[in-house]
Copies of this chain bind each other. A is one copy, B any other.
Amino acid sequence: MTVKLSDIAEAAGVSVMTVSNVMNGKRARVSQQTIARVQEIADRLGYVPNIPARSLAASRSHIVGALVPVGENNSLLVSPHTVAVIGGIEQHLRHHGYHVLLRGIEHEGEIGQAIRGWSLDGAILVEFTDAEIDRIRIDGVPLVALDSYSANPRTIGVRTDDHRGGWIAGALLMDAGHRHVLFAGPPYEGMGVVGQRFEGFRSACLAAGIPHDAIGSERVLTTFEDGRELGRRLRRDHPEVTGVFATADVLAIGIMAGLAESGVRVPDDVSIVGFDDLDISAYTSPGLTTIAQDMPAKVAEAARIILDEIEKGEGPRAPVSLGVRLVERGTVGSPRASA
């Protein structure tokens, strides 16, 4: 029923190995003649390589796992950002003959199981916390940790230059003349993505000469709702604040909504800077000024690293930080004299 190498070999009057070599592009070992003939027959017969067989024999699968943490009962609801990354990586890998296995991870041990069980050639770890990445003890397989600052030498971090993004946001607010600012982001431990953004922001503010205690901070979840709630009470809880930096656009947009509800105008009364540059960020009114990540570069870089490690076997390498870019729209202005 299904055509296999031996069928082609027979039809071409050569050995199975020759066909195998042709199919795998090891053309150096076969004459042009044979290559052409074998290729032609394979095409005519509609040969499709059997991937499990190949994986078993070669003990490499041409599969890269996209591993995503997931609670027992929630489906892996990856963020739009993550989706874009995985999709992009799928494309890169596919063009190089690799495939992507999407796998939710409920317990940490499953990472190793997935890698061994599937003979994964590599894995990209998405949305894990730095603490989780730190705990990984798997060698021999390229592991790319997206948006991680873990120092685990077994993994390679690929992330945005969050510190710089924070700095830019801070500098922007400082340049506009704000002297009382607020950082809004999720609770965090260590210097992960959020920590980096905060530090960058803080540094820029301090460098501009405003005092320590003029930099407030609010721990809120990265959701529209939490943002709205903060927006509603901003005036009350932080009367002197005229500039806000939110670690995510969803949050920033929520804050804008809350602010609007409580009669505070953006950017007349309060300026806001977001992070991410989501599609919707261009559609709010005023349009959200935000820090954009270089997504295509991030994707390309992650794919390139995995591929290089798999094929060239390059050892663990340095983490990579991708650039950020300020997208100025309408949510930043100068603080009013009265403020």
Contact = CB atoms under 8 A, between A and B. Distances in A.
Interface of A: 2, 48-53, 55-56, 61, 66, 70, 74-78, 80, 83-84, 86-88, 90-92, 94, 99-104, 112-113, 116-119, 224, 228, 253-254, 257, 260, 279-280, 283, 285, 299
A9 B117 CA distance: 19
A2 B116 contact: yes
Contacts of A285: 257, 260
Nearest to A101: B101
Contact of A78 (B75, B87, B254, B299): B87
B83 A94 contact: no
Given A52-B118, A86-B102, 18 more contacts: A48-B116, A48-B117, A50-B117, A52-B61, A53-B56, A56-B56, A74-B91, A75-B84, A75-B87, A75-B90, A76-B87, A77-B83, A78-B87, A87-B104, A100-B102, A224-B279, A228-B283, A257-B285
Could you tell me the dominant secondary structure of chain A's interface residues? Answer: helix
Contacts of A94: 103-104
Contact of A48 (B70, B90, B91, B113): B113
Residue among A56, A92, A283 having the largest count of chain B Cβ atoms under 10 Å: A283
Contact of A55 (B52, B90, B103, B228): B52
12 contacts: A48-B117, A51-B52, A52-B119, A56-B56, A76-B90, A87-B104, A90-B102, A94-B103, A101-B101, A102-B102, A224-B279, A280-B280
State the copy count for this chain: 2
A4 to B, nearest CB: 11
A90 B113 contact: no
A87 B74 CA distance: 9
A78 B83 contact: yes
Contacts of A283: 224, 228, 253-254, 257
Given A75-B84, A75-B299, A56 B48 contact: no
A10 to B, nearest CB: 20
B91 A87 contact: no
Contacts of A100: 101-103
Contacts of A86: 102
A122 B264 CA distance: 54
A117 B56 contact: no
Q: Please name the 9 residue pairs, one residue from A and one from B, whose CB atoms are nearest each other, closest first.
A: A52-B55, A75-B91, A75-B88, A52-B56, A52-B52, A75-B87, A76-B87, A100-B102, A48-B117
B99 A103 contact: yes
A92 B102 CA distance: 13
A104 B91 contact: yes
Contacts of A118: 51-52
A112 B299 CA distance: 28
Contacts of A66: 102
